[in-house]
Amino acid sequence: MVKIVVTGPESTGKTTLAQQLAAHYQTAWVAEYARIYLNNLHHPYELADLLSIAKGQLASEEVARMKDQKLLICDTSLEVIKIWSQEKYQTCHPWILDQLQKQQIDLYLLCAPDIPWQPDPQRENPEDRHRLFTIYQHELEKSHMEIRGDEDQRLSIAIQAVDSLLK
């Protein structure tokens, strides 16, 4: 199975792109588990919650893997939780770091912060997107394709990258 992760700072079109790619390729996609978790949390999240979110994300990915499709699209993965944890708490749980090393991602699509910020109760960094984008670039090194432009341009760039990988 080929695994594509759509990632990047907050409000950069990750969910939209993940859904569009899944529809284009008629395949499964994995929603960002953090949204599900935080929507059901009845207190401000804490460091320990990030470990639960990471485990939930991997469990969601595993459920999608069982659908036996050739392509899996993920709306974020553990790299987001690592960066989020280090930004907010200056640390990251060793289990998350270990799982990151074990992940087998075929392509990261890194969404740039070149689209307007969209407010959302779960978003925390409207002024920090460009700085965080640089952190993502460093974290992913050369194993990513940067996605920029309007919605149509982003989808076109992503499809070209995925098509190249599938050939």
User: What are the domain boundaries of the chain?
Assistant: 2-166
Predicted confidence at residue 31, as pLDDT, reads 96
Q: Give the Å distances, CA to CA, from 43 to 37, 52, 79, 154.
A: 11, 14, 24, 36
CA distance 100 to 111: 20
Q: What is the model's pLDDT at position 69?
A: 82
Q: Which letter does DSSP use for residue 131 in this model?
A: H
pLDDT average, residue stretch 11-29 = 96
Tens digits of per-residue pLDDT, 47-67?
999 999 999 999 999 999 988
Length of the chain: 167
Determine the pLDDT at residue 8.
96
What mean pLDDT value characterizes the chain?
Answer: 94
User: Other C-beta atoms within 10 Å of 9: how many?
Assistant: 24
Is the confidence at residue 126, as pLDDT, over 80? no
Q: What CATH number matches the domain at 2-166, 3.40.50.2300, 3.40.50.1000, 3.40.50.300, 3.40.710.10?
A: 3.40.50.300
